[in-house]
Amino acid sequence: MKPPAFEYVCPASIAEALEALAARDDAKVLAGGQSLIPMMNMRLARPGLLVDINRVPELAAIQDEGDTLQIGALVRHYQLETDARIKEAFPLIPAAERLIGHPAIRSRGTIGGSLSHADPAAELPVLAMLGDWEMTVASRDGGVRRIPAAEFFMSYLMTTLGPDELLTHVTVPKQRTGGSHIAEFAVRSGDFALAIAAAMVELADDGSVRSVRFALGGVSDVPWRDLDLESSLVGAMSSDALWREAGRQAAEAIDPADDIHASSSHRRQLAETLLTESLSRAAEQARERSSH
């Protein structure tokens, strides 16, 4: 199947890309094309102009800024999986990347494309919510917006990006201490997950919870996180029972939709099991790191 007819431009700078986006109401950004092109082929998207940003070098950089990494929107999945700086700063990223699609997809797809597409069953939006990532967005008038992940995702396949705005880079706070884990369930390897759970845990010297954060994917229109539930766990002694109870409470709090892939109750059960696993393994990793 071929896409509908469209016009095409390939700017060499961010300014040129923004100019092209502002010139047409029906323009769309083309990065890796792993979501946009299939949607065009199936007539789910009909952009009149594709703005190919693959020749904008500043969008493909990874920069260490001390407490954060600045990851350009064009950085590919395979780079996120293999770059030593990313593995050191945020180990969940390469762990999640190994769950995404297949090597051919990871060689073309980008971090900016995944976050802008905003599929709640995708791994990177879940990590963005978990890690309090910040998206930097530019527009033609010179304006720059920095949008926290909690405000970036609006609904299923919807973000706060305006039609004439471009996601330029993602700010990822480094995970200095503690442990982390991501788990998901998909019908086949490489498919979108029916449910995803990711967790980060830091323990005090006595084994109590110093900090904890967790996020779920595939269970709501946007990646799900509950700050109050996280706070309620701080100070408690880390134990399998604690993490099972956290998984149970999270499963009670979510309200997944029924669809052709899974029932609401099935997704709720998956979320509970996966979150319990992620929290337990993150805590185990935190204990191992603190003992060295």
For residues 190 and 242, membership in a common domain is answered with yes
Q: CB count, 10 Å around CB of 290? A: 15
Determine the structural domain holding residue 13 and report its residue range. Answer: 7-52
Domain termination residue (choose one: 148, 173, 198): 173
- Cα(283)–Cα(292) distance, integer angstroms: 15
Average pLDDT over residues 186-198: 89
For residues 162 and 237, membership in a common domain is answered with no
For residues 149 and 208, membership in a common domain is answered with no
In this predicted model, what pLDDT tens digit does every residue of 28-53 receive, in sequence order? Answer: 998 988 888 888 898 888 888 999 99
Residue-level pLDDT at 2: 83
Please indicate, yes or no, if residue 96 is contained in any of the structural domains: yes
Average pLDDT over residues 100-124: 90
Residue-level pLDDT at 36: 86
In this predicted model, what pLDDT tens digit does every residue of 121-179 receive, in sequence order? Answer: 999 999 999 999 999 999 988 789 999 999 999 999 999 999 899 999 999 999 989 99
Average pLDDT over residues 217-237: 98
For residues 140 and 91, membership in a common domain is answered with yes
For residues 145 and 195, membership in a common domain is answered with no
Q: What is the CATH number of the domain that holds 38?
A: 3.30.43.10
For residues 92 and 133, membership in a common domain is answered with yes
For residues 38 and 144, membership in a common domain is answered with no
- Cα(195)–Cα(185) distance, integer angstroms: 6
Name beta bridge partners: 43. none
For residues 198 and 164, membership in a common domain is answered with no
Please indicate, yes or no, if residue 2 is contained in any of the structural domains: no
Could you give the C-alpha distances from 89 to 27, 64, 68, 278, in angstroms and in order?
Answer: 35, 9, 8, 19
For residues 23 and 83, membership in a common domain is answered with no
Give φ, ψ of 253 to 5 degrees: -80, -25
- Cα(266)–Cα(83) distance, integer angstroms: 36
- Cα(82)–Cα(283) distance, integer angstroms: 25
Please indicate, yes or no, if residue 88 is contained in any of the structural domains: yes
Residue-level pLDDT at 35: 84
Q: How confident is the model at residue 292 (pLDDT cuts 50, 70, 90)?
A: low
Q: What is the CATH number of the domain that holds 122?
A: 3.30.465.10
Please indicate, yes or no, if residue 84 is contained in any of the structural domains: yes
The total number of structural domains that make up the chain: 3
Cβ(105)–Cβ(97) below 8 Å: no
